[in-house]
Amino acid sequence: MLSRTASSLYWLGRYFERADFIARLVEATVRLDVLSPRPAGCAAWASALAVTDTDAAFEAAGAELKRSEVARFLTIDNSHAGSIVHSLDMARNNARAVRTALTREAWSAINRAWLMFEAKPAATDATSVLNLVEAVKNETRGFEGAVHRMLRNQTTWFIRLGQAVERADNTARLLDVKYHILLPEGERVGGVVDRDQWTTILQTVSAVTAYRWLYSDGLRPGNVIDLLIARAELPRSLAASVEETVDVLLMLAKRTGQHGEADRMARLRATRMAKTRSGEVIASGLHQYLQSFIEENALLHGAIGRQFKFG
């Protein structure tokens, strides 16, 4: 496989995953803001900006911090790198560059998602925002399915590698920001807004029901953190992303006959993850843990590029 093709597939995976994540985040934030009995208001939207690392860009754009503005900013605003439309643009550009490597189904899902935004959708009131992100989620699901029906070769593995690396980053960011907001010093844990906030996290990683199956003692912050970090059963957990990265790299190594820096880093990370206990992480500082996880993930990203000569 051409190095350029591999690079485009990997980035395609990353951007499409990111589009999906932002869509979920926006959806969960709308729910938190509008549908909860005690609306969290602009604090909810500020945290959505923080998770996508676009708070500075939003401030620079000079819009008012309220639902309609932030929702528009995170969905249809192509002027910055943190919106759904920008991620879809980049995903589609990469997909177009490797059009031959994708099946029609996979390409159509990406193209349909992109075409929705070409049609300049409105993203102002809560309903239209929810409809839009629901449509994006449909296409990302379709893409996921199409990728799983493609030949099990480097093409799918590079897409999945990009997805896994992106997913690890997204989940870590989500948890970091929300935890920071949720447990300010001296604040009592367990109020109504609080409960909604924790539910928001679960919604963003599609784990509301999964949580109930895995934990029988009600909604507890410690459990949510445990689920998102250490439970490999949950596809969007850090543990699952770490495992997926190792698996995909292993399959690539088998095919190309090459091992490298990225394989070693990924395996090392997986070994450490297997020993991680969420209780200890919380005790010794969740924020620090997540920050170093995000940094390590970025290093792994660099190593992957070098190993496969992305250039």
Partner 1 sequence: MVKQAFDEIMGMAGGPPPRAELAALSRWIEATPDAELRRRQQAAEATFRQLGITFAVYGESEASERIIPFDIVPRVFMHDEWERLSAGLIQRVEAINAFLEDIYGERRILKEGVLPTDLVLGNPQFRPEIAGMRPPHGVWAHICGIDLVRTGPDEFFVLEDNARTPSGVSYMLENREAMLRLCPELFRDFRVAAVDSYPDRLLETMKSVAPIGVSAPTCVVLTPGHYNSAYYEHSFLADSMGIELVEAADLVVDDDMVWMRTIAGRVKVDVIYRRVDDDYLDPLVFRPDSALGVPGLIAAYAAGNVAIINAPGNGIADDKAIYSYMPEIVRFYSGGEAKLPNVETWRCREPQALKYVLDNLADVVVKLVDGSGGYGMLVGPTASKAEIEAFRAALIAEPHRYIAQPTLALSTVPTLADSGLAPRHVDFRPFVLTGSRGVQVVPGGLTRVALKEGSLVVNSSQGGGTKDSFVLMDDRPHQSQGDGQSQTMGGMTQTQGTQGMNQGVTR
Is 112 a binding residue for partner 1 by CB under 8 A? The answer is: yes
Is 131 a binding residue for partner 1 by CB under 8 A? The answer is: no
CB of 139 to partner 1, least distance (A): 12
Helix (H) or strand (E) holding 307: helix 286-307
CB of 153 to partner 1, least distance (A): 12
Is 216 a binding residue for partner 1 by CB under 8 A? The answer is: no
- 103-111, 122-130, 131-139, 242-250 -> range binding partner 1 (CB under 8 A): 103-111
Residue 49 amino acid letter: L
What end-to-end distance do the CA atoms of the chain give, in Å? 14
- 4-12, 41-49, 51-59, 231-239 -> range binding partner 1 (CB under 8 A): 4-12
Q: Is the dihedral of CA 114, 116, 122, 126 positive or negative?
A: negative
Torsion of CA 56, 83, 141, 303, to 10 degrees: -60
Given a contact cutoff of 8 angstroms between Cβ atoms, the answer to whether 257 and 251 are in contact is no
Options 65, 97, 135, 303; binder of partner 1; rule CB under 8 A:
97
Given a contact cutoff of 8 angstroms between Cβ atoms, the answer to whether 5 and 98 are in contact is yes
Can you tell me which residue has the tokens 């059963």? Answer: 233
Is 103 a binding residue for partner 1 by CB under 8 A? The answer is: yes
CB of 165 to partner 1, least distance (A): 16
Is 115 a binding residue for partner 1 by CB under 8 A? The answer is: yes
Given a contact cutoff of 8 angstroms between Cβ atoms, the answer to whether 19 and 91 are in contact is yes
Options 111, 124, 128, 138; binder of partner 1; rule CB under 8 A:
111
Is 209 a binding residue for partner 1 by CB under 8 A? The answer is: no
Angle at 137 between CA 106 and CA 74, to 5 degrees: 115
Is 87 a binding residue for partner 1 by CB under 8 A? The answer is: no
Considering CB under 8 A, how many residues would be counted as binding partner 1?
26
Q: Is the dihedral of CA 42, 45, 51, 54 positive or negative?
A: negative
Alpha-carbon Rg for the chain, nearest whole angstrom, is: 19
Is 96 a binding residue for partner 1 by CB under 8 A? The answer is: yes
Is 259 a binding residue for partner 1 by CB under 8 A? The answer is: no
Is 303 a binding residue for partner 1 by CB under 8 A? The answer is: no
CB of 162 to partner 1, least distance (A): 14
Rounded to 5 degrees, φ, ψ at 236 are -95, 10
Q: Which residues bind partner 1 (CB under 8 A)?
A: 1-6, 93, 96-97, 99-100, 103-104, 107-108, 111-112, 115, 154, 252, 256-258, 308-309, 311
